[in-house]
């Protein structure tokens, strides 16, 4: 018995709908799995690092009966001081590893901005531990006399103590400058690099001071291993980075000035850089006052061999761009970052840009404009927020891309007329917003405010991506 054409058509329609549902569920599950994996990776990385920091103390508790004792005040103070010292030096070494920008290290926390956040967290924790280390050790003498306690804290009593005191003093000064002084980026970077000197002094202290480390072979090997990791990481990123860090050679091909924004087109001198739209690079111009490396987001299409950097005048370094000339040599390190819709399995996207935060979205939309067949999505809604319309220097280009590709919608938002961009405006122009992956790039206050508003309006926080990269 033959199946009628109508029944065949109905059967094929049902099969198609079933297949669509399976694919949708599969994509959703993959997306959820992707989120869980990223979250798990971050949690596991933090847990592993803290476990490595406290492993020496756990070892002493398990295998050395008299190393850590808590049955009296003096013993407890001494033991806590030891724990802080051992954990602090391990964390101190790991902070240098997290600052290397090595891809494998970046993957530990999924993105470079998250890795550098971890670097700050572990660095701060290491400092607190190392600060409490001598305080608790000295407190063991409080049961005898205050004089004995103060004498213990006096530096220069012997070489080992002197190195430890100098390490802590230099570390304290550098971190105070880092957190509170409003220095130029170059000065801040130089002071931050001096933490390596503090680490070397601390390492000498650890190796010279009579302690459980010097008396136990396992602890000695363990601590020396981490001291080596810290020293190698510091040397790689700070001392010998020009020799070891891979960089690409480019030349300034074209300069275009758009109000307060300077758009620089770079031409490769050799093999061009391969990147995903939305990523950033570290740039060094072979020009006086501009040789210091600075991070800038790529705003060009990923299919273009040239690189375009769209840079707003925000400080001394970017102010020097007015003197930029064609033919200047440029060194490019990267690419870095995962702020890209290409890393998502969603089909609908909301892009929110505040001012110069438009640059990663420029790269994404220019890439789509150049090669629409390479990107699979249902809709992209871009919200371009500026104080006044004259500041939206890329609006005409974005509108042209939108006109050619009807799946892209561009919304200009003028904050001078309407107040700060809010979630209400965004969501009322996106009826299916709960299905969309949201990317936000702009001033930190704007990003944090919009994220909070969107979550309060029912958006899943795991679908909100912020470009949080900052060196300061």
What are the sequence ranges of the domains in the chain?
34-243, 246-336, 341-466
pLDDT digits (tens, 9 = 90+) for 81-131: 999 999 999 999 999 999 998 888 888 887 888 888 899 999 999 999 999
User: pTM of the prediction?
Assistant: 0.79
Contact 364, 396 (CB under 8 A): no
What percent of the chain stands above pLDDT 70?
87
Q: Write down the pLDDT at residue 243.
A: 86
Question: Left, alpha or beta for 289 (phi > 0: left; psi -120 to 50: alpha)?
Answer: left
Cβ-in-10-Å burial (0-12, 13-18, 19+) of 283 comes to buried
Give the residue-averaged pLDDT of 295-302.
94
Q: Write down the pLDDT at residue 14.
A: 59
Tokens of 470: 């900052």
Q: Write down the pLDDT at residue 399.
A: 95
pLDDT digits (tens, 9 = 90+) for 124-145: 999 999 999 999 998 888 777 7
211 by DSSP, 3-state: which? coil
Q: Write down the pLDDT at residue 244.
A: 87
**pLDDT over 50 at 464, yes or no:** yes
How far is the CA of 68 from the CAs of 49, 65, 79, 96, 221, in angstroms? 22, 7, 5, 29, 20
Give the residue-averaged pLDDT of 57-84.
91
| 32 or 430, higher pLDDT | 430
Q: Which of 257, 269, 249 is nearest to 323 (CA)?
A: 257
Q: Which of 262, 248, 256, 254 is nearest to 327 (CA)?
A: 254
Radius of gyration of the chain (CA): 28
Task: Give the range among 40-49, 211-220, 366-375 with minimum mean pLDDT.
Answer: 40-49
Tokens 């809709």 correspond to 379
Q: Cα(197)–Cα(92) distance, rounded to whole angstroms? A: 12
Q: Using a CB cutoff of 8 Å and minimum separation of 24, what contacts does 95-100 make?
A: 95/119, 95/122, 95/123, 95/126, 95/230, 96/196, 96/199, 96/229, 96/230, 96/231, 96/233, 96/234, 96/237, 97/229, 97/230, 97/233, 98/122, 99/233, 99/237, 100/233, 100/236, 100/237
What percent of the chain stands above pLDDT 90?
55
**pLDDT over 50 at 472, yes or no:** no
**pLDDT over 60 at 1, yes or no:** no
Give the residue-averaged pLDDT of 251-267.
92
What DSSP character marks residue 298?
B
Give the residue-averaged pLDDT of 280-298.
87
Give the residue-averaged pLDDT of 145-158.
72
Q: Write down the pLDDT at residue 431.
A: 78
Q: Determine whether domain 34-243 maps to CATH 1.20.120.
A: yes
Fold of 246-336: Elongation Factor Tu (Ef-tu); domain 3 (2.40.30)
Q: Which CATH number fits domain 341-466: 3.40.50.80, 1.20.1280.50, 3.40.50.450, 3.40.50.720?
A: 3.40.50.80
| 385 or 244, higher pLDDT | 385
Q: Write down the pLDDT at residue 187.
A: 64
The mean predicted confidence, pLDDT, of the chain is 86
| 35 or 137, higher pLDDT | 137
Q: In terms of DSSP bridges, do strands 348-354 and 294-297 run parallel, antiparallel, or are they unpaired?
A: unpaired
Q: Cα(211)–Cα(213) distance, rounded to whole angstroms? A: 5
């Amino acid at each position: 018995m033959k199946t009628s054409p109508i029944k065949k058509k109905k059967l094929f329609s049902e099969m198609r709908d079933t297949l669509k549902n399976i694919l949708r569920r599969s994509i959703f599950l993959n997306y959820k799995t992707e989120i869980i994996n990223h979250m798990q990776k971050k949690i596991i990385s933090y847990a592993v690092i803290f476990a490595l920091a406290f492993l020496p103390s756990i070892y002493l508790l398990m295998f050395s009966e008299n190393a850590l004792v808590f049955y009296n005040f003096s013993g407890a103070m001494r033991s806590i001081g030891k724990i802080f010292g051992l954990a602090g030096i391990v964390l101190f070494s790991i902070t240098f590893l997290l600052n290397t920008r090595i891809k494998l290290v970046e993957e530990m926390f999924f993105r470079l901005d998250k890795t550098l956040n971890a670097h700050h967290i572990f660095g701060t924790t290491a400092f607190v531990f190392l600060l409490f280390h001598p305080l608790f050790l000295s407190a063991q003498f409080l049961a005898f006399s205050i004089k004995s306690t103060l004498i213990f804290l006096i530096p220069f009593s012997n070489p080992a103590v002197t190195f430890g005191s100098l390490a802590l003093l230099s570390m304290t000064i550098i971190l105070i400058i880092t957190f509170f002084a409003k220095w130029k980026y170059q000065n801040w970077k130089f002071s931050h690099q001096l933490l390596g000197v503090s680490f070397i002094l601390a390492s000498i202290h650890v190796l010279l001071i009579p302690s459980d480390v010097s008396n136990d072979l396992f602890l000695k090997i363990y601590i020396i291993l981490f001291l080596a990791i810290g020293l190698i990481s510091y040397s790689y990123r700070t001392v010998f980075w020009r020799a070891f860090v891979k960089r690409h050679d480019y030349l300034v091909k074209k300069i275009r000035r758009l109000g307060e924004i300077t758009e620089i087109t770079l031409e490769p001198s050799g093999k061009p850089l391969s990147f995903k739209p939305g990523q950033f690079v570290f740039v060094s111009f072979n020009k006086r006052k501009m040789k210091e490396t600075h991070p800038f987001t790529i705003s060009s299409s990923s299919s273009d061999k040239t690189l375009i950097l769209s840079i707003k005048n925000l400080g001394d370094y970017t102010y020097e761009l007015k003197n930029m000339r064609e033919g200047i040599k440029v060194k490019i390190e990267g690419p870095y970052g995962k702020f890209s819709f290409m890393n998502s399995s969603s089909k609908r996207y909301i892009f929110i840009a505040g001012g110069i935060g438009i640059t990663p979205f420029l790269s994404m939309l220019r890439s789509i404009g150049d090669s629409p067949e390479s990107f699979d999505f249902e809709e992209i809604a871009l919200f371009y927020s500026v104080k006044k319309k004259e500041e939206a220097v890329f609006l005409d280009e974005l509108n042209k891309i939108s006109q050619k590709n009807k799946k892209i919608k561009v919304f200009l938002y003028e904050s001078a007329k309407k107040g700060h961009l809010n979630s209400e405006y965004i969501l009322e122009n996106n009826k299916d917003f709960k299905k969309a992956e949201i990317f936000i790039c702009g001033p930190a206050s704007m990003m944090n405010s919009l994220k909070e508003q969107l979550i309060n309006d029912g958006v899943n926080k795991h679908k909100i991506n912020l470009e949080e990269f900052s060196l300061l």
